Structures are given as structure tokens and as C-alpha cells.
Structure 1
Amino acid sequence: MQANTSPAPASAWWLALIAPLLWGTTYPVTKAWLVGFDPMWLATLRILVPGLLMLPLVPLSVWRSRWLAIAVLSTLNIGLFTALLFAGLQRLPGGMAATLTASMPLQILLIRALLGRFPSLLQLLCATGGIAGVALLVWQSPVTPDWTGVACSLLAATSMSIGVLLIPVLGKDIKPMIMTSAQLALAGVVLLLVTMLAGRPFPQLTLGSVLALGWLGPVTMGMGYILWFRSVARLPVDKLAFLGLVNPVVAVVAGVLFLSEALSLVQLAAIVLVLVCVVMAQLPARTQAKG
């Protein structure tokens, strides 16, 4: 992976931030309009619908020449990540699963260290501080943790970490729109087959659930991943990953604003801690070489 020594414009960072802001709305939308909705069908439809809508954007030449790269990236960034994420959510309280998934920035730093690109002390402090902030914000600890669920949540973060690091390598010379469309389409079809083979009955749809799926699919998944993969190609991954910590912050704030949920002083302090860690993790990107 080649380092990009030219500083990215501020607009690139703001566009990158839109993705976790969109993903953070998943919690309030699901709680308001998709309570009891089968989680496997929810994961399948929110990926399959935008994938099929965007499928015509992928030229046949890309499928023929880059099918293996697309399959690997689709599995790591979307398919396997989503499966492990929902497996963790089914076995753990949502707050605990979110905290474990928030280890993604730290995992990316550790993977890069194994490859010889060692993180700074500031990056390590921001990564651990971010995890602590998310834990204070949403943590719900069971008496006896389900260690399978713990492993699934951690591996979900690992899957996305490896996938994001591989995008500049395997996705080189593929436009972000095409890369996003191909990954969503392939992952959606695979998840559809898995869900149908599992014998899960198709859920009953209402107007509210259809509108909610329209938001969670084409908007949060489609638009969100387009912006995310576009940002991966333009911004240093070890800095970009920290923006994902904004996701649980948005979820909690949206719950307060739209679902009349309470916000404690501890949670307010946690939000400040998370945002400080996110901002501090970006500062060196202005003066250090990116890659």
C-alpha cells in the first residue's frame, strides 16, 4: 500500500463522516419501525435491495477481470462482517456488542503494526479512549457473558478492519461507486441464499417497515458505503477508522431526540470523551504522511 503524501482537503473528511452518521440512525429506525423484524431478513434486505438497485452500475468487464477481489472484499467488508455483527447482537446486549465492535480502530493499528507500520502513542491512546467512551455510553453487561457472542463481535471488527486495509490493494483502479455496487450485490445474493436455506419465513411488511427498510438499505447502506469506500481510497485508513466511533454516539443522541430516552451525566461525559478521541486521532493526519 503506497503512502499518499498529499494532504486531503477538509471536504474529504466531512464526506467520510456522513457514513457513520447515517449508520448511527440504524438503532432508532429499527426500534421505532422494525421491532420484532427477523434479524436475518433485516440484514439481507438492507444489503440486497441497494445491491440490486446498483447492480447495473457494474460493467461485465469488472466482474470478469476482478471477480476474486470483489468476492474477498465483499465477504470481509459486508457479508462476513454483517453475519458476525448480527450473531453478536443475538447473543449479547446491544451496548456490549457495540463496545466490542468499537475495537476496530485499535485492531487496524495492531494489524498495521504487524506489517511494520507502528502507531503513535497518541493513536493508541485515542483508540483505547474511544473504546472506553463507547463502553461508558452504551455498556450493558450480563452477569455471565456469552463468550461466543464476544468472539463474534470482536471478529466482526476484525473482518471489517482487514477488508478496509485491503481495499487500496484489491480494489485498486476500481471506482468507489462500482466497488460499492459489486460488493453489496454479491453479499446481498449470498445472504439471501443463506437466509432462505435457513428456512426463515419472510416477515410481514407494513408501510412503516417498508419505509424503514428504504432508509436502512439504499440510504444508510448504499450511500453510506459509497462514501466510506470513496474515503478509504483517499484518506489514511488508520485515521479514517476512528470516525466509526461516531456511530454509537449518533444512536444514543437519536434515541434521546426521537424516542424520548434519557441521557445521564455519565453518558454525556462519554460522548465528549469519544468525540475528543475522534478529533485527536485526526490531528496528526495534517502533518504526517498518510497510508
Structure 2
Amino acid sequence: MTTNSSGATAGLPLWLMAVAAPLLWGTTYAVTQAFLAGVDPFWLATLRIVVPGVMMVWLVPLTVWRRHWLNIVVLSALNIGIFTVLLFGAIQRLPGGMAATLTASMPLQLLLLRALQGKLPAPLQLLAAVGGMAGVGLLVWQAPAEPDWTGVALALAAAFCMALGVLLMPLLGRGIKPLVLASAQLFSAGVVLLALMLLWGRPFPSLDTRGVLALVWLGPIGMGLGYYLWFRAITLIAVDKLAFMGLINPVVAVLAGVLLMGELMNISQAFAIALVLLCVLLAQHPAAQR
């Protein structure tokens, strides 16, 4: 169990809340392929951030902007803005499965960052991080004959941004309520990405009714609700445990593909899912404490 500063114990509902964010994010691939195929991926990334950001910005008091604007800018860049640009850049250059596998290095990179702070990981944590990345690789890996090394660097850099953002959240987000912090970050990152898209001059995509509904799922629900739950969990669960929850994302992506798109699952993928979930559970075990 994990205890927050007020002494409340993090029970099963808290862990379910932490799992809910990657569950929502994991549906992105299947929903996009099923209902938003052919939509410009950069516009799609921008809209799924800026729409919930504009809807939620009223939740951010002016005092928060005045006191914490620099922290909000840094966190929104790491957690959402730069991460999204790097990730979509990697996806443009690499097979989706390879990009997902490299991004799954986030827990391992987080442990390495904490080691640089003098907080060495427990052996069980390292085992869970390496095993989780291997499980994701077995689940979705699609190795090209000659990988695009720029794409590889972009995917690893995206994972690094996510790891650094998670690590800095308890420090830079201190004193800001999770819902307010999520709203401020989504709005800040969304406005910057929208400005970049307009300056870039890419034509705005046309969406049918199904596309609009899919965007509502990916934006206000997937990003808005998902990031709120994620930032809420960060305030109550140790970051080196919470980071492993992100490994659930590609598992959900594969399962959603089976359910929504009729994709088939083989024995090795079923084994990989079991391995990933086992590693997530290992990382939560008391023996994984440093």
C-alpha cells in the first residue's frame, strides 16, 4: 500500500484510478484506425489536446496562472507537447509496434533518472522494467530490415520526456489540484500545437459524424479525463510504481484491435500480455521498494 501526505491509504479504488488512464489511452490506435483513418496525424494529435484544453481552461484560476505559469509550461511541454510531437514523429518513421516498444522503455528510463539522483532501484524494479519492455516488444514488435535511426531516437526521446515529466510532477505540480493541473497543461500544450499547425499551413481535416464522435472519445475523455486521473494518481502513488502502469497501454491497444477491428491474437501475443501484466504487478510488490 501507498500512503499520501494526509495519511489516507491508497487502496484498490486508487489503483483502479491509476490503471484507468492507460486503459483510455490504449484505445487510441483502434479508434483512430476504425473511425479516423486518413486523418492528418498531426492535426489529430493537436485536436485531441486542444479541444479538452479549451473545454477545461475555465477550471484554472488566474492565481494559478500567475503563481505557477513557468511550472505549467515545463510540465505541459514534457508530459504533452514535446512528447506528442516526438511520438508522432517516431510513428511517421517507424512501424507502430516498434515505436510502442521503444516508448515502453519509459519505466526503465525513469529508474535510471532516479539512480542519477542517488536513489538506486531495487533488483525487482529493474527486472520488471526490462521484462515489461520485452513483453511489449513480443506483443507488438514489427522490425524493419533497416530501422530508421532518427525514428528510434525520436521514440526514445519521447519516452525520456514522459519519464522526466512523471519525475518532476510531484515537485513542479505541488500546491496545484490535479484537475486544475491537467486543465492548465492541456490548454497550454494545445494552444502551442494549434499555433504551430496554423503556421505550418497544413489543411484542416474534414470529419464525418463518426469521426467527430471518435475525436470526442480521444479528446475530452481520453486526454481530458485520462490526464486528470493520471495526475491525480501521481499525487498518491510513488512515481517509480506508477510509471509501470503505462505498460498497460499497448496491451489495451492490441485487445481493442481484436474487439473493434477483428484482428487476430496468436499464442505469443497472449504470452506477452501475461508477461507485461506480471511485470506491472511485480513493480507494485513491497519487495520492489528501494
* TM-score interval (norm. to shorter): over 0.9
Aligned-pair CA distance for 1:271: 0.5
Task: Look up the equivalent residue of 1:179 and give its one-letter code.
Answer: L
1:217 corresponds to 2:228: no
Distance in 1 separating the partners of 2:198 and 2:95 = 26
2:149 matched residue in structure 1: 147
The structure 1 residue matched to 2:271, chosen from 256, 269, 272, is: 269
SS at match of 2:176: coil
2:246 matched residue in structure 1: 244
Q: Deviations over 1:127-169 (max 9, x none)?
A: 0000000000000011110011000100001001111111111
Gaps spanning 5+ residues in structure 2: where? none
Distance in 1 separating the partners of 2:124 and 2:289 = 13
TM-score by length of 1: 0.96
Aligned-pair CA distance for 1:185: 0.2
1:168 corresponds to 2:197: no
Distance in 1 separating the partners of 2:135 and 2:231 = 26
SS at match of 1:205: coil
Q: Deviations over 1:161-206 (max 9, x none)?
A: 1111111111101000000000000000000011111110000111
The structure 2 residue matched to 1:47, chosen from 29, 37, 49, is: 49
Distance in 1 separating the partners of 2:24 and 2:120 = 31
Is residue 26–residue 253 contact of structure 2 (8 Å, CA) maintained in 1? yes
1:123 corresponds to 2:129: no
The structure 2 residue matched to 1:258, chosen from 236, 257, 260, is: 260
Aligned positions of 1:17-166 closer than 5 A: 17-166=19-168
Q: Matched residues, percent identical?
A: 63
Gaps spanning 5+ residues in structure 1: where? none
Distance in 2 separating the partners of 1:106 and 1:138 = 18
TM-score by length of 2: 0.96
Distance in 2 separating the partners of 1:4 and 1:209 = 41
1:11 matched residue in structure 2: 13
Task: Look up the equivalent residue of 2:78 and give its one-letter code.
Answer: L
Is residue 86–residue 157 contact of structure 2 (8 Å, CA) maintained in 1? yes
Task: Look up the equivalent residue of 1:136 and give its one-letter code.
Answer: L
Q: Deviations over 1:186-237 (max 9, x none)?
A: 0000000111111100001110110010000000000000000000111000
Aligned positions of 1:164-203 closer than 5 A: 164-203=166-205
Aligned-pair CA distance for 1:4: 5.5
Distance in 2 separating the partners of 1:11 and 1:205 = 37
Aligned-pair CA distance for 1:258: 1.8
Is residue 122–residue 289 contact of structure 2 (8 Å, CA) maintained in 1? no
Distance in 2 separating the partners of 1:16 and 1:45 = 24
CA RMSD for the aligned pairs? 1.4
SS at match of 1:145: coil
Distance in 2 separating the partners of 1:284 and 1:80 = 34
Aligned-pair CA distance for 1:8: 2.2
Task: Look up the equivalent residue of 2:187 and give its one-letter code.
Answer: A
Is residue 138–residue 272 contact of structure 2 (8 Å, CA) maintained in 1? yes
Q: Deviations over 1:38-87 (max 9, x none)?
A: 01100100000000000000001111111000000000000000000100
Is residue 53–residue 184 contact of structure 2 (8 Å, CA) maintained in 1? yes
Aligned-pair CA distance for 1:288: 4.5
Aligned-pair CA distance for 1:100: 0.3
Task: Look up the equivalent residue of 2:217 and give its one-letter code.
Answer: W
SS at match of 1:13: helix
Distance in 2 separating the partners of 1:95 and 1:155 = 16
Is residue 4–residue 10 contact of structure 2 (8 Å, CA) maintained in 1? no
